[in-house]
Amino acid sequence: MIVDLNLDRKHVLVLGGGKEGARKIRGLLDQNCKITVMCSRLNRYLSQLREQGRIELVKTKIKDASVLDNYNNLFLVLAATNDKVLNRMLVEKARSMRLFVYAVDDPAISDFSYASIINIEGVMQVAISTSGKSPIMSRRVRIKAERVLRRVIKKTDIENTKLQEFARAAAKSTFKTVEQRKKFLYSLIENSRIQNLIKEHKTEDAKSTTLELLREWERKNNR
């Protein structure tokens, strides 16, 4: 089962800053989470991310799982050292702290397996997963699928998604039921005025029109 883990405003600790650690960090950067990276050696990539304020970097040698005792607000721990025994120790310790855990070298002891992600403008993500059976094949299939999806998913799809997020937030206080909210959101996709504004890249006008339509729906429901 593929799930999209919600990391918004959560604290993630990446233990190890090598090739696998860096790959996992890249996948976290657009998740609006706090990222702390602990490693013994710094490289240019990690140093740049620290300078940009995108990660917190702790330079230290990870000897055992006691490094986790320094944290009490973690949500997810990624064990990405080059020592399989140490990774297992880190996973076991993190799990005892009731945290989500993942070991880059052993999906079998992890709480989840990493999918190969197609990320389109940070808005749409499509996952290709073999449930840990073959990360290499996941990546190969992702490359093939990405070529197709980037042709199929249009700019208007991305902008509609952003508008739907805006509209959902605005509609929560207006509609009492999920069904009413769904009907309103579907109506925006089918509304020619809204769609023309999106095609013309008039994002703010589309939002204003959405609020106008929401008020009309509210008046109809209150009759």
Estimate the crossing angle of helix 155-171 against helix 178-190, to 10 degrees: 150
Give Cα 13 to chain centroid, integer Å.
Answer: 15
Nearest to 164 by CA among 187, 145, 192, 140: 187
Q: Tell me, what's the pLDDT at 221?
A: 74
Residue 3 included in any domain: no
91 and 159 fall within a common domain: no
- C-alpha to C-alpha distance for 76 and 95, rounded to whole angstroms: 10
Which residues constitute the domain of residue 174?
A: 155-221
Nearest to 154 by CA among 194, 184, 123: 123
Residue 131 included in any domain: no
110 and 22 fall within a common domain: yes
27 and 103 fall within a common domain: yes
pTM: 0.70
Q: Tell me, what's the pLDDT at 206?
A: 97
Q: Tell me, what's the pLDDT at 80?
A: 96
Residue 45 included in any domain: yes
Q: Tell me, what's the pLDDT at 28?
A: 92
Residue 51 included in any domain: yes
Beta strands in 16-168 (DSSP E): 34-39, 56-59, 76-79, 100-103, 116-120, 124-128
Q: Tell me, what's the pLDDT at 116?
A: 82
Average pLDDT of each block of 10 consecutive residues along the chain (223 residues)? 83 95 91 95 92 95 94 95 96 96 90 84 88 85 94 96 96 90 95 97 97 92 68
CATH number, position 71? 3.40.50.720
Residue 113 exposed, middle or buried by CB count within 10 Å (0-12, 13-18, 19+): middle
Residue 123 included in any domain: no
Q: What is the DSSP annotation of 158-197?
A: HHHHHHHHHHHHHHTTT-SSHHHHHHHHHHHHH-HHHHHH
Q: Which sign, positive or negative, has the C-alpha torsion 149, 150, 153, 157?
A: positive
Output the CA–CA distances (angstroms, integers) from residue 128 to 117, 125, 180, 184, in the order listed: 6, 10, 33, 32
Q: Tell me, what's the pLDDT at 131?
A: 78
16 and 81 fall within a common domain: yes
109 and 173 fall within a common domain: no
Q: Tell me, what's the pLDDT at 114?
A: 78
Q: How many domains does the chain have?
A: 2
**SS3 (DSSP) at 134:** coil
Residue 6 included in any domain: no
